[in-house]
Amino acid sequence: MLTSALHGLSAGDYIKADRRRAVAVAQALAAFLQRLHAVPVDDCPFDSSVAAWLPVVRRLVAKGQIDVEDFDDEHAGWSAARVLAKVEALAGHARGRVVVHGDFSLGNVILGDDGTIAGCIDVGRLGVGDPYRDIFIGWRDLGGFGAEAQRAFLTALGIDELDETRRELHRALDELF
Beta bridge partners of 172: none
**pLDDT band for position 71 (50/70/90)?**
very high
Residue 1 has pLDDT above 80, yes or no: no
Q: Which of 13, 103, 114, 130 is catalytic?
A: 103
The domains located in the chain, with CATH, are 9-175 (3.90.1200.10)
103 is catalytic: yes
Q: State the burial class of residue 43 (Cβ atoms within 10 Å of its Cβ: 0-12, 13-18, 19+).
A: exposed
* Average pLDDT, integer, range 47-65: 98
Of the candidates 177, 176, 21, 155, which has an alpha carbon nearest to the alpha carbon of residue 85? 176
Q: Tens digit of pLDDT for each residue in 80-117?
A: 999 999 999 999 999 999 999 999 999 999 999 999 99
User: pTM of this prediction?
Assistant: 0.94
**pLDDT band for position 6 (50/70/90)?**
confident
